[in-house]
Structure 1
Amino acid sequence: MIDETPVLDDHLHLDPDAHRGIDAVRDFARVGGTHLLVVNKPSWHLGVEAETGEDFRDVFERTVDIVADASSELEGRAWPVLGVHPGLISRLVDDRGFTPEAARDLMRAGIDVAAEYVESGDALALKSGRPHYEVGDDVWDASNAVMRRAFEHGAALECAVQLHAEASEDMTEVADWAEDAGMPAHRVVKHYAGGRLKGPTPSVMSEKDRLETAAERGEPFLMETDYIDDPDRPGAVLGPKTVPRRVRWLLENGREEAVRIAHIETPKRVYGIDTEATLASAE
């Protein structure tokens, strides 16, 4: 721990089969990290070319298993976040010959399976979103339909939905869709966010300039690395030690309130998790 505070990385990936896996968790813990939200890797990165919603279950099971292993390395614990990566729609349409409508249906079926894990208590939240790159209107509409299915489950299960989506400082329309489904907007989490965002809760990439912006605003935010645990892209995104190091930097610069917001208050508000109590129970 760092000055007795919980330290949560809100979004990273662990490969259950190759590369660093649990060694990355040990790196995180060694420099003061205590809690992790582990998002399943894209299905095709784990060798799954889904034809039905049930085909995603193997991805989810392997993620749940490595998260259990990760928890045993932490002073706090780790939780799984499960869903379907929005980039899958391009793989289905461009490479596998699916129509956008068929891709939509398959991806929604995968979200339905992920929701079963949340309902049973084996996962904390869902992941969905839409492409962060240029796509045609039919693919865009299909992607939005997948995301809205995730919001329906978020409402029914009273859980958060993490979004992989385009860079933006205003996603109020998407937050409104969540509320239309019966899900509070603050439970929508924009992964890979900057320090300023209207609508969803920002999960801020842990770069100093973004964190300074978030800290200045004094509004709810989370911190993440989006560590991808990919041996073919060893320098991609941020490493697993980054969040604890940035927490230490924030504290050294008098940003105690920002640390409390990101690692205690916002996790409780968005996910219903108590990072302080889970530390105490691990002692």
Structure 2
Amino acid sequence: MDIDDTPVLDNHLHLDPVNGRNVEAAAEFADHGGTHLLVLNKPSWHLVEKATDEATFREVFDLTVEAAADASDVLDGRAWPVLGVHPALVSKLVGDGHTPEEARDVMQAGLDVAAEYVAEGRALAMKSGRPHYEVDDAVWAASNEVMRHGFERAAEAGCAIQLHTEGGEDFEEVAQWAEERGLDRTQVVKHYSGGRLTGPVKSVLADKDEVEIAVAEDEPFLMETDYIDDPDRPGAVLGPKTVPRRVRWLLENGHDDAVRTAHVETPKSVYGIDTEATLER
């Protein structure tokens, strides 16, 4: 199989319509064979300001919805917005003098708005999580409450949720939290995952070694770059052309089935999207 015979989805990429390359980054992805994008909103303080109310979240989400629509114009497939609250907001708010509980309430309100956008058909899925760095017990507890609230909202909206969390391979407890709130673990995606994961669906950073592990594990997986579209950090985390390059490499090495898993079957089972039917070359 050739790359022209398959959809190519980057499951987690940021576009910055305020400070970044925005559509130019999506065009670079397309030029290298990419067809579909899930565009995650950047942290509110990167686009507007630290979010302390619903109005700021709406401003950030509207910018992201617009960026995804503009990206769709340069893709043979399309882009979908994924909206939510970056878990580091808790530290920003606590640093400004809010209690962890007040920060939790702000972040849960943001997730309520994200769920509203999904329910209205303006976004595909949600994003939540917990800090990937050391925090005190009160902040950790508040962060877990935020994430569990995200599961409830995603279950009500009937959508998947991407998680930004600490590293590791065992997230069985997190998957159980989702299921206790009515959200199937197959709708919970761990962004920035390695090739092995227990619990949620893995969205594997498009690093050759980790992708090879994911292929060998022979489980549902997605591929992502976590490109952050920051002119001050142009290569962070991986560039927009990386997923298409990895797909070419997989195909050259005979891993057609793995490519279908990551770019057709898993997107359909997790998000309900059809990357083949939405592809026009």
Is TM more than 0.5 here? yes
Aligned residue type for 2:108: R
- Give SS of 2:81's match: strand
1:119 matched residue in structure 2: 119
2:23 matched residue in structure 1: 22
- 8 Å CA contact 1:6–1:275 kept in 2: the answer is yes
Alpha-carbon distance in structure 2 between the residues aligned to 1:17 and 1:66: 10
Alpha-carbon distance in structure 2 between the residues aligned to 1:102 and 1:19: 31
1:44 matched residue in structure 2: 45
Q: State the identity %.
A: 67
Structure 1 residue 235, shift from structure 2 partner: 2.4
Large movers: runs of 4+ above 4 Å: none
1:204 matched residue in structure 2: 204
1:163 matched residue in structure 2: 163
Alpha-carbon distance in structure 2 between the residues aligned to 1:158 and 1:93: 31
1:61-91 deviations in Å (ceiling 9; x for gaps):
0100011000010000000000000001011
Cα RMSD over matched residues?
0.9
1:84 matched residue in structure 2: 85
2:246 matched residue in structure 1: 246
Structure 1 residue 222, shift from structure 2 partner: 0.1
2:110 matched residue in structure 1: 110
1:54 aligned onto 2:55: yes
Alpha-carbon distance in structure 1 between the residues aligned to 2:4 and 2:102: 51
* Number of aligned positions between the proteins: 280
2:133 matched residue in structure 1: 133
Alpha-carbon distance in structure 2 between the residues aligned to 1:99 and 1:53: 18
| Pairs within 5 Å for 1:212-223 | 212-223=212-223
Alpha-carbon distance in structure 2 between the residues aligned to 1:259 and 1:80: 23
Greater mean alpha carbon deviation, residues 151-160 or residues 171-180: 151-160
Structure 1 residue 249, shift from structure 2 partner: 0.1
Aligned residue type for 1:182: G
Structure 1 residue 54, shift from structure 2 partner: 2.8
Structure 1 residue 153, shift from structure 2 partner: 1.1
Structure 1 residue 157, shift from structure 2 partner: 1.4
| Pairs within 5 Å for 1:141-156 | 141-156=141-156
Structure 1 residue 115, shift from structure 2 partner: 0.7
Q: What is the TM-score normalised by the length of structure 1?
A: 0.97
2:187 matched residue in structure 1: 187
Q: What is the TM-score normalised by the length of structure 2?
A: 0.98
Gap regions ≥5 residues in structure 1: none
Structure 1 residue 31, shift from structure 2 partner: 0.7
Aligned residue type for 2:85: V
2:72 matched residue in structure 1: 71
Structure 1 residue 50, shift from structure 2 partner: 2.0
Alpha-carbon distance in structure 2 between the residues aligned to 1:63 and 1:258: 30
- 8 Å CA contact 2:48–2:56 kept in 1: the answer is no
Alpha-carbon distance in structure 1 between the residues aligned to 2:193 and 2:172: 14
Alpha-carbon distance in structure 2 between the residues aligned to 1:158 and 1:119: 8
Alpha-carbon distance in structure 2 between the residues aligned to 1:121 and 1:250: 34
Structure 1 residue 236, shift from structure 2 partner: 1.7
